[in-house]
Amino acid sequence: MSVTDEIKARLDIVDVISETVVLKKSGRNYTGFCPFHSNTRTPSFVVFPETQTWRCFGACADGGDMFSFVMKREGYSFKETLEALSKRAGVQLKSATPHQAEQDEQRHKLLELNAAAAAYFHNLLAGSPAATDTRTYLAEREIRPETIATFQLGYALDEWEALKSHFLERGYSAEELLAAGLLVERDDKPGYDRFRNRLIIPIRDTRGRVIGFGARALAADQMPKYLNSPQTVLFDKSNTLYGLDLARKHIRQTDEAVIVEGYMDVIQAHQREARNVVAQMGTALTEQQLKRIAPLANKIILALDADTAGNAATVRSLSVARQTLPKKYRATSTSRGIEVESHIEQEIYIAALPIGQDPDDILKEGLEVWQSLIDQAIPSLDYYETLIINNADLATPQGKSFVVRELVPVYREIKDNVEKTARVQRLARKIGLDERLLLAELKGGQPPSRASNRRRAPTPPPPEHPFPSESPEESSTVAFPDSEPSGLGLEDYCLSLILANPTALATANEVLEKEGVPGLTANDLKRGDNRDIFKALQLWAALETPKIEALVEMVDEVLERRLASLASQWHRRPSPPLEDVNQDLSTAILRLRLQKLNEQLGELKFLLREAEENEDLEHARRYRETIREYSRERKSLHDTRDALSLMGKRRTEANQFGQVV
Ligand SMILES: [Zn+2]
């Protein structure tokens, strides 16, 4: 039995969901208000104990297993959900190798030590006479006691070995304290306390565990103003966003992530109810930080103070960084085959704060004032253009030359040719230069041709297998090009098709969208682990050359076995023609939708029968209405499926005809 199944067997979905949703028993099932869309009148959320599934029959129309519920509720990845639920179920997660087990053990110890250190600093802030000034400072900045508790703010004594002797007395070794970054190394040996006379801000991972500390100077002459934990086994500041553990849920809800510059800004923002706010870690925004936040929201806004926002180098780096965000791909069939065009789906925006104001100053005026500033944020590259143009005297040739010199290299890095050309044309008009001149300048910096972002559809990846060995029961085979065999679910089948043919996803979605049917999304999948694999596949399939190694890096290691089993479906098999795969995937997506609709209809009919038995007329009426609505949708999906299969048949016949001739 897999760990996932073991957890499902030990926990009851009703208990897990009841933690946050008030469920009322209704016949054999439970109903409540859906936690994922605002609804207060009629409970549209149903939990089915028999199948251990949940479903919303309201606006979000989502549903799935225990894992997908917790992932959605907490904004967790599958791995984080697995860790949380396994703890609850008392199921031990196995470490893959002895080396990994050792690492896990070390991490575990350091986490424990960090938690103890956070509590130690927090207690000092609360009770130590030495912390009086710090308490006054926090009071002056209007940080409330409950905020101090939520963020577990603390105080480090103005002594060289206060923390060291405290923890040595409690059985920790100096080496452990050093490994946690709490001591400074001296002559290759653990030395003295790293943090002295500072306000301590514990930094947490997405699961809320303390992984490091930020420390603000309290004396005027103390340098640096902010001191962070060094890089440790747990703490990598380029991969961490401060406050993400608390902000994540709100970022998902608002589909908007606001990044500010300092820890205190986050603390104050949350206190004033701007809860989708996180902070970069004292450095420029890194690619890893962007990747961490990109899956949570489409809109990423940097609220920069006037100085930073006016700094061309910073803004320029953001304009380049936006290239790493996921792109939406559009596939088109041409006489030369399938071609794919990219469009940036996500964007980094910049909101410049008024000179001399920090986020708290604005939030003091009210949440609406803050939000309107955020709403007015400008895409980073537009912002950069304006910054450069405003700094140049366009009346002079030198001014024009300056603009071209600054902007053209940035344009050159834009992968999307349509956007690239459009921007150059617009700039030419703005500064009064010949467009052809600028286009030539654009080409000047790189070898001719090959600069195109249009690319031929890559062939299916070679059968390389950098995966751990798959378990025998998982490696059932697929008979291609017929439909998936029993044993391999439709969800798995779709994923395995995309895995074998990364471009098929864009093409299949395009075909469906043309028929008025939305493309495949993570919400179509019931299993939580499949949702995470699909999200990784989406990003991976959009890469220039989707290599299987890249995919392995994109998924959590806990999903590698599932990935291996999906990949094994195509192992040792000649790759089918791409056209067949595209057709197969669009049909499979349709069948997945039909399957879901049929399940929903089954559930609804069951609910209707119960409501009728209980003479609950209001509910019965509503269920009947929804059944009618879903039946109409099913009819139209059937029509689309028929139309697509007809197209497929014609193509096959045409191919056969071609071969005969
Ligand atoms: Zn809902």
Paired sense of beta strands 256-260 and 29-32, if any: unpaired
pLDDT at 570 over 80: no
pLDDT in the model for residue 437:
83
Q: Give me the pLDDT at residue 655, please.
A: 63
Whole-number Å distance, alpha carbon 21 to ligand 1 midpoint, is: 12
Looking at per-residue pLDDT, the higher value among 401 and 291 belongs to: 401
Please tell me the distance between residue 345's alpha carbon and the centre of ligand 1 in angstroms.
Answer: 25
Confidence of residue 96 (pLDDT cuts 50, 70, 90): low
Average pLDDT rounded to a whole number, residues 41-55 = 88
Q: From the CA of 508, how far away is ligand 1's center (Å)?
A: 27
CA–centroid distance, 43 to ligand 1, in Å, is 9
- Looking at per-residue confidence, does 516 or 140 come out higher? 140
Q: Which pLDDT tens digit goes with each residue over 441-472? A: 888 754 433 333 333 333 333 333 333 333 33
Ion ligand 1: residues, Cβ under 5 Å: 34, 36-37, 56, 58, 60
Q: How far, in Å, from the CA of 58 to the mean position of ligand 1?
A: 5
Question: Contact, 46 vs 64, CB < 8 A?
Answer: no
Confidence of residue 542 (pLDDT cuts 50, 70, 90): confident
Q: What is the mean pLDDT of residues 622-631?
A: 91
Instruction: State the residue for tokens 């344009």.
Output: 411
What's the gap in Å between 526 CA and the centre of ligand 1?
15
**pLDDT the model gives residue 536:** 84
Ranges 74-78, 96-100, 202-206, 327-331: which has the least confidence? 327-331
The C-alpha atoms of residue 547 and residue 66 are separated, in whole angstroms, by: 32
Q: Which residues, in sequence order, are bridge partners of residue 203? A: 212
Centre of ligand 1 from the C-alpha of residue 342, in Å: 32
Longest dimension (CA), the chain: 95
d(CA 199, CA 404): 46
Instruction: Decide which of 649 and 570 is more confident.
Output: 649
Q: How far is the CA of 54 from the centre of ligand 1 (A)?
A: 10
CA of 20 to the centre of ligand 1 (A): 14
Tell me the pLDDT band of 602, cut-offs 50, 70 and 90.
confident
**Ligand 1 centroid distance, CA of 212 (Å):** 37
Rg (alpha carbons) of the chain, rounded to whole number? 28
CA 55 – ligand 1 centroid, Å: 8
What's the pLDDT score for residue 657? 56
Structure tokens belonging to residue 422: 């459009």
Number of alpha carbons in the 13 Å side-chain half-sphere of residue 146: 3
Q: Check pLDDT > 90 for residue 140.
A: yes
Instruction: Output the CA 600–ligand 1 centroid distance in Å.
Output: 14
Does the structure show a pLDDT above 60 at 306? yes
Report CA(37)–ligand 1 centroid distance (Å).
5
pTM of the full structure = 0.61
Q: Calculate how far, in angstroms, residue 595's C-alpha sits from the geometric centre of ligand 1.
A: 19
Between the CA of 62 and the centroid of ligand 1 the distance, in Å, is 6
Each residue of 478-518: pLDDT tens digit? 333 333 434 468 898 899 889 888 888 988 988 898 888 88
Phi, psi of 434 (to 5 degrees): -70, 130
Residue 573: its pLDDT value, please? 55
- Which pair of tokens denotes residue 338? 């399938």
Ligand 1 geometric centre to CA of 32 (Å): 10
- Give the 3-state secondary structure of residue 431: helix
- Give the burial string for 184-217 (b: 16+ CB within 10 Å, else e): eeeeeebbebbbbbbbbbbbbbbeebbbbbbbbb
Give the Å distance between the CA of 568 and the centre of ligand 1: 36
pLDDT at 301: 95
Percentage of residues in the chain having pLDDT higher than 70: 87
- Which of the pair, 575 or 384, is modelled with greater confidence? 384
Q: Among 209-218, 375-384, 475-484, 611-620, where is mean pLDDT lowest?
A: 475-484
- Residue 291 C-alpha to ligand 1 middle, in angstroms? 27
Distance 15 CA to ligand 1 centre (A): 19
* Distance of CA 515 from the midpoint of ligand 1 (Å): 26
Q: Which residue has the tokens 């007395």?
A: 169
